[in-house]
């Protein structure tokens, strides 16, 4: 918590909020990327079955 308060004091509130949001959303982006890859594999499998 102390580190966060120091960051706000040093770089300003908007930059601290942006950094916090980037860290939080990273895991969600990785999960979304994995889901898109699985979807692409499923679509490719369906195309192979149709042929």
- Helices 13-50 and 2-11: crossing angle in degrees, nearest 10, is 100
Mean pLDDT (whole number) for 34-44: 95
- pLDDT tens per residue across span 5-37: 787 777 788 888 888 898 899 989 999 999 999
CA nearest to 7, candidates 41, 48, 15, 25? 15
Query: What pLDDT does residue 43 have?
Result: 94
Q: How many domains does the chain have?
A: 1
Domain holding 35, by residue range, is: 2-50
Contact 4, 19 (CB under 8 A): no
| pTM summary value | 0.56
pLDDT of residue 1 exceeding 80, the answer is no
**Cα–Cα dist 43/37, whole Å:** 10
pLDDT class of 4 with cuts at 50, 70, 90: confident
């Amino acid at each position: 918590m102390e580190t966060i308060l120091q960051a706000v004091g040093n770089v300003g509130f908007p930059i601290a909020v942006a950094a916090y949001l980037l860290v939080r959303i990273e895991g969600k982006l990785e999960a979304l990327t994995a889901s898109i890859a699985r979807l692409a594999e499923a679509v490719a499998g369906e195309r192979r079955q149709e042929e």
